[in-house]
Structure 1
Amino acid sequence: MDKRIIIIIAAIIVIIAIIGIYAYSASNNPDKSKLRISTTTSLEDTGLLKEVEAAFEKKYPGVDVQIVSGGTGIALQYGERGDVDLMLVHDKKREQEFIKNGTGTNRTEFAYNYFWIVGPADDPAGIKGLNATAAFAKIAEMGEQNPDQVKFVSRGDDSGTHAREKKIWNDSGVGYQNVTNQSWYIESGKGMGDTLILANERNAYTISDSGTFLAFTKDGKISLVPIITTGSDLLNIYTAMPINPDRHPQTNIEGANNFVNFLISPEGQQIIGNYGNQQYGQPLFTPIVTNPVPSLLTPLVSNPVPA
């Protein structure tokens, strides 16, 4: 073979090898100028995350926070695929499974509020004064008797709110599987804001995080009223979970940990605790570090978060 051809072939092989090494290196080295976060819709719809993001980017001016909003189920899918660096969600059972399977490094609880059972002001099912499980049982009973007057709208989107709704149906003795095919039970398949609007249009009950409900009520988008707002069944805790770089090497774990630590820092907790006072006359979330849930039995951080 011609010597020149051999040299050319060797040069091509070297170039291909260099390109391969560069591509591998790039795929395993995170872009620290970007922090990708998937979040539950309530943190986005209320506007809290926008305020936290602005404060974080001011403290870390070299980082561009990129947020995608969806239900907890969607957020977990993003995390499983390694499409994001950090998740902000609210479904403890699935969070613990996510940590157990090694996709997340730890779960850090940073805020809470309560799910509210909301509905028409005239309360056609007569649930006022009941607890959450008794209320769901009464809605099912009255919905079967009078489906034209008593309706329930579900998110039906595998979100954290939907997961809590299913749990309450099951705990009530009715059983989630027994309501999904009923004429009075309606699935929106959408986020919290759209579900509230649909429930308002259908004059129906639904379950909502208190923050989104207050935001939509203040804006005049809905006329539903809160009917049941307290009880351990309705406690709603928000958690941050960084993606494990051992599972997805391109994860910006430094940025993710910085954001988690910012959320639980005095500055971050103050932003959370104050948010909503000016706009809605009351805070939409409670900072969990400075105001822990009285009955909270689990540690705020399952594993330590590196500084």
Structure 2
Amino acid sequence: MIPDFIRASIVALGLTAGASLAEEPFIIVQSTTSTQNSGLLDYILPGFEAETGIDVRVVAVGTGQAIRNAINGDGDVLLVHSKSAEEQFVADGWGVERFDVMYNDFVLVGPKSDPAEVKGDTDIIAALAAVASSKAPFVSRGDDSGTHKAEMRYWQVTDVDPTVASGTWYREAGAGMGASLNIASGMGAYILTDRATWLSFGNRGDLEILVEGDPRMFNQYGVILVNPEKHSKVRATSGQRFIDWLIGADGQAAIESYELDGQQMFFPNAR
């Protein structure tokens, strides 16, 4: 039987340990599925956490949902890829300041049989028009993510409204990039994806990159501190420390060094 004085010591130690855990500094980053699915965050965050002692807890959702979550106060930092939406987030007072972080590009992947005959094209608008004309299966994320927003911008230029064909050749997944790629792989469908997620994606099936190189497929990422004047629980000091690290020399070097099979996944370009 444990003596009372030893039991009291154990309880006291447990309370102290519990208090330490409760006081452990952390931030919540609302981010995109591409930064998570590509493996980037798993690669760079340990360096920041070891240097600062700040635990980074990532909520990986589409850009639109990440922005809505931040507006609701469910996060300290926003790391997404839809510049116009990010600038509106700041203009509306929900964010303090936006910073460029890095970029890569979008690519159109599709089946090797290529029924729309777009392989080798460098014009994403012409390629999507050809897909629509051929009524070849196309999977859209359909989730208001940065990738989905870019896709819809491209469709708008084609003067094709693919949503009228929803459920036929045009399928809206309402899911993250990895899940949507799985659907496209199973269907042998075309899909727009960021390059980093594609490079890290294992279940490619019969899919391959068919269209790339259009300057309109440039994919910029930005980072923003959620405004503590809107939500008093925002961990502004720790959040800003993460942003400063991400756009500073150490964070930019970490981003630049992340490769998969010898290919650089993201290109740092913070000011």
If the length of structure 2 is used for normalisation, what is the TM-score?
0.87
2:140 pairs with 1:154: yes
C-alpha deviation, 1:220, in angstroms: 4.7
Alignment-derived partner of residue 66 in structure 2: 75
What letter matches 1:112 in structure 2?
Y
1:131-173 deviation per Cα after TM superposition (whole angstroms, max 9, x unaligned): 0000011100010xxxxxx110000111111000100000112
Alignment-derived partner of residue 248 in structure 2: 265
In our comparison, the structure showing a higher alpha carbon Rg is 1
C-alpha deviation, 1:115, in angstroms: 0.5
**How many percent identity over aligned positions?**
35
C-alpha deviation, 1:280, in angstroms: 2.0
2: distance between equivalents of 1:49 and 1:182?
34
Alignment-derived partner of residue 16 in structure 1: none
2: distance between equivalents of 1:263 and 1:230?
27
Alignment-derived partner of residue 239 in structure 2: 256
1: distance between equivalents of 2:132 and 2:91?
36
2: distance between equivalents of 1:60 and 1:159?
31
Alignment-derived partner of residue 163 in structure 1: 149
- The counterpart of 1:234, out of the listed 217, 227, 231, is 217
- The counterpart of 2:111, out of the listed 104, 111, 120, is 120
Q: What aligned pairs does 1:13-32 form with structure 2 within 5 A after superposition?
A: none
C-alpha deviation, 1:176, in angstroms: 4.6
If the length of structure 1 is used for normalisation, what is the TM-score?
0.78
1:38-81 deviation per Cα after TM superposition (whole angstroms, max 9, x unaligned): 110000011111122101101102x2211111101110111001
2:120 pairs with 1:129: yes
Does the CA contact (< 8 Å) of 1:169 and 1:176 recur in 2? yes
What letter matches 1:194 in structure 2?
A
2:36 pairs with 1:50: no
Count of aligned pairs: 248
Alignment-derived partner of residue 186 in structure 1: 171
Q: Secondary structure at the match of 2:264?
A: coil
Q: Secondary structure at the match of 1:123?
A: coil
Q: Secondary structure at the match of 2:30?
A: strand
5+ residue gaps in structure 2? Answer: 1-22
2: distance between equivalents of 1:170 and 1:183?
19
2:267 pairs with 1:286: yes
2: distance between equivalents of 1:210 and 1:174?
25
User: Which runs of 4 or more aligned residues in structure 1 lie more than 6 Å from their structure 2 counterparts after TM superposition?
Assistant: none
What letter matches 1:57 in structure 2?
E
2: distance between equivalents of 1:182 and 1:79?
32
Q: What aligned pairs does 1:194-209 form with structure 2 within 5 A after superposition?
A: 194-209=179-194
- The counterpart of 2:93, out of the listed 74, 89, 102, is 102
Does the CA contact (< 8 Å) of 1:71 and 1:158 recur in 2? yes
Alignment-derived partner of residue 292 in structure 1: none
2:257 pairs with 1:274: yes
Alignment-derived partner of residue 36 in structure 1: 28
Instruction: Give me the CA root mean square deviation.
Output: 1.5
Q: Structure 1 pair 154/141, CA: closer, same or farther in 2 (3 Å)? A: same
Alignment-derived partner of residue 20 in structure 2: none
